[in-house]
């Protein structure tokens, strides 16, 4: 019965490695924050805002995403946003969250870097206390800005380096190749942090190659278009480069016409180190659990696939070796839990 496979997938301990915290701003919270901060929000109601979530490509989404982020003003706002996400993630079996944030979206509006960090860190501390969830921050640079502006942001963030897990690159991919940020990434790596970058979401497979060779990234965010170039796909699989795939996002942003057209099965068949993530859950139809349900409805994977996806997410995280070993042991134990062997949908039962 595929139901118990889905239960296993939902309950398995896992890491979420690709989620923009600003993209977890639910319309209800956006309206509450607008009211709390006395902001004249340009939507008549929660329903009117939700109705605007009809995207034709990445840019049409980003325009709304940056506009909504304007309601985030105070330390309390950033705290509330983080804690709301961690609550949802915990419900989906997430034991480790590596959360992306866009400081430039806030500092450009005059919000001090200190307010952003203090709010997020307070939310992370509350999430750890309430849900036992381990969380790290990935500081993302906006690739539609110049490299010099990004280098200035890196300088501004230097006093907070002990709170930065890794660096990333997001926003409009087309027209802004990884090669634009070689100096920035060298500076980030010199700080001893891992680096990731969005590549091969809307951009071509060549951007994945650039991110690997020029930026020397540890993971590729999305990477779903690697299937368009067999050599890139073969390399990503051979080198076990983790791909943080976001299925609902890709459908909502029209990277694929529908879930059944998604390249996920091809990526798995090629042996790529795929992980499943929610990207911007408030805008794209749901959190990690919703992504898992949508993928399972389209592809009816067996339990070995879901086990491997959960395992990949923990392996590909930047957590300590000790934490990874602990979560992997729990994952292995969950395979043998009562009821886990009761379905006949996976080779593990054979
Ligand atoms: N920022 C938030 N979500 C993003 C996405 N899916 N791609 C690029 N930048 C983003
Ligand atoms: Zn993303």
- For the Cβ of 198 lying below 6 angstroms from any atom of ligand 1, the answer is yes
- For the Cβ of 279 lying below 6 angstroms from any atom of ligand 1, the answer is yes
CATH number, residue 122: 3.20.20.140
Q: Residues 161-176: pLDDT tens digits?
A: 999 999 999 999 999 9
Protein residues within 5 Å, CB atom, of ion ligand 2: 279
Q: Averaged over 270-283, what is the pLDDT?
A: 98
Q: Averaged over 137-144, what is the pLDDT?
A: 98
Q: Is 147 left (phi over 0), alpha (psi -120 to 50) or beta?
A: alpha
- Select the more confidently predicted residue: 341 or 191: 191
131 in a structural domain: yes
22 is annotated as an active-site residue: no
Predicted pLDDT of residue 338: 62
Nearest ligand (C-alpha, residue 63): 1
Q: For residue 202, what are the CA distances in angstroms to 61, 223, 247? A: 13, 9, 13
Predicted pLDDT of residue 1: 45
- For the Cβ of 20 lying below 6 angstroms from any atom of ligand 1, the answer is yes
166 in a structural domain: yes
- Nearest-atom index, ligand 1, CA of 171: 9
What's the chain's average pLDDT?
95
pLDDT of 258 > 90? The answer is yes
d(CA 250, CA 232): 19
Q: Averaged over 257-282, what is the pLDDT?
A: 98
Q: Is 258 left (phi over 0), alpha (psi -120 to 50) or beta?
A: beta
Q: Residues 76-85: pLDDT tens digits?
A: 999 999 999 9
340 C-alpha to ligand 1 centroid (Å): 36
Q: Averaged over 259-275, what is the pLDDT?
A: 98
174 C-alpha to ligand 2 centroid (Å): 14
Predicted pLDDT of residue 335: 86
pLDDT of 208 > 50? The answer is yes
Nearest ligand (C-alpha, residue 255): 1
Please tell me which residue in 26, 201, 202, 210 is annotated as part of the active site. 201
309 C-alpha to ligand 1 centroid (Å): 22
Q: Residues 191-201: pLDDT tens digits?
A: 999 999 999 99
Q: For residue 87, what are the CA distances in angstroms to 83, 127, 144, 249, 324? A: 6, 7, 32, 21, 21
Q: Residues 111-124: pLDDT tens digits?
A: 999 999 999 999 99
Residue 39 structural domain: 3-335
Q: Residues 7-37: pLDDT tens digits?
A: 999 999 999 999 999 999 999 999 999 999 9
171 C-alpha to ligand 1 centroid (Å): 5
Q: Averaged over 183-190, what is the pLDDT?
A: 98
d(CA 310, CA 111): 37
Q: Could you give the number of structural domains in the chain? A: 1
Q: Averaged over 149-166, what is the pLDDT?
A: 98
CB 341 within 8 A of CB 348: yes
Residue 91 has a CB neighbour count (10 Å cut-off) of: 13
The DSSP letter of residue 160 is: G
Q: How confident is the model at residue 336 (pLDDT cuts 50, 70, 90)?
A: confident
349 in a structural domain: no
Predicted pLDDT of residue 340: 57
350 in a structural domain: no
pLDDT of 233 > 80? The answer is yes
Atom 10 of ligand 1 has which residue's CA nearest to it? 171
d(CA 2, CA 292): 13
**For the chain, what percent of residues have pLDDT higher than 70?**
95
Least confident of 208-217, 219-228, 331-340: 331-340
What would the two tokens of residue 271 be? 């042996």
Which phi and psi angles does 219 have, rounded to 5°?
-145, 155
Long-range contacts of 31-38 (CB under 8 A, 24+ apart): 33/71, 33/72, 33/73, 33/77, 33/80, 34/71, 36/77, 37/71, 37/73, 37/74, 37/77
267 in a structural domain: yes
Q: Averaged over 69-97, what is the pLDDT?
A: 98
46 in a structural domain: yes
Q: How confident is the model at residue 342 (pLDDT cuts 50, 70, 90)?
A: very low
Predicted pLDDT of residue 339: 57
Supply the pTM of this predicted model.
0.96
- For the Cβ of 249 lying below 6 angstroms from any atom of ligand 1, the answer is yes
- For the Cβ of 280 lying below 6 angstroms from any atom of ligand 1, the answer is yes
pLDDT of 307 > 70? The answer is yes
Q: How confident is the model at residue 3 (pLDDT cuts 50, 70, 90)?
A: low
């Amino acid at each position: 019965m595929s139901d118990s496979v889905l239960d296993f997938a939902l309950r398995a301990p896992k890491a979420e490695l690709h989620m923009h915290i600003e993209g977890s701003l639910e319309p209800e919270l956006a309206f509450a924050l607008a009211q709390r901060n006395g902001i004249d929000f340009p939507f008549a109601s929660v329903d009117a805002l939700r109705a605007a979530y009809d995207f034709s490509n990445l840019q049409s989404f980003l325009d709304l995403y940056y506009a909504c982020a304007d309601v985030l003003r105070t330390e309390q706002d950033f705290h509330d946003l983080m804690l709301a996400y961690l609550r949802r993630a915990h419900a989906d079996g997430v034991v480790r969250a590596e959360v992306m944030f866009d400081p430039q979206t806030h500092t450009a509006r005059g919000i001090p870097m200190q307010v952003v960090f203090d709010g997020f860190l307070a939310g992370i501390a509350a999430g750890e206390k309430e849900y036992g969830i381990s969380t790290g921050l990935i500081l993302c640079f906006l690739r539609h800005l110049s490299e010099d502006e990004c280098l200035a942001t890196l300088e501004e963030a230097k006093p907070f380096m002990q709170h930065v897990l890794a660096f990333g690159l997001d926003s409009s991919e087309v027209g802004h190749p990884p090669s634009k940020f070689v100096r920035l990434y060298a500076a980030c790596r010199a700080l001893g942090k891992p680096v990731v970058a969005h590549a091969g979401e809307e951009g071509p497979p060549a951007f994945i190659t650039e991110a690997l060779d020029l930026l020397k990234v540890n993971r590729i965010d999305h990477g779903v278009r690697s299937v368009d170039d067999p050599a890139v796909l073969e390399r990503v699989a051979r080198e076990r480069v983790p791909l943080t795939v976001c299925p609902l996002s890709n459908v909502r942003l029209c990277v694929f016409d529908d879930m059944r057209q998604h390249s996920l099965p091809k990526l798995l068949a090629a042996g790529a180190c795929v992980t499943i993530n929610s990207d911007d859950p408030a805008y794209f139809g749901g959190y990690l659990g919703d992504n898992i349900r949508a993928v399972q409805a389209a592809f009816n994977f067996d339990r070995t696939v879901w086990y491997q996806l959960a395992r990949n997410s923990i392996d590909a995280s930047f957590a300590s070796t000790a934490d990874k070993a602990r979560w992997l042991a729990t994952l292995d134990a969950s395979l043998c839990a009562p009821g886990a062997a009761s379905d006949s949908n996976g080779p593990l039962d054979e």
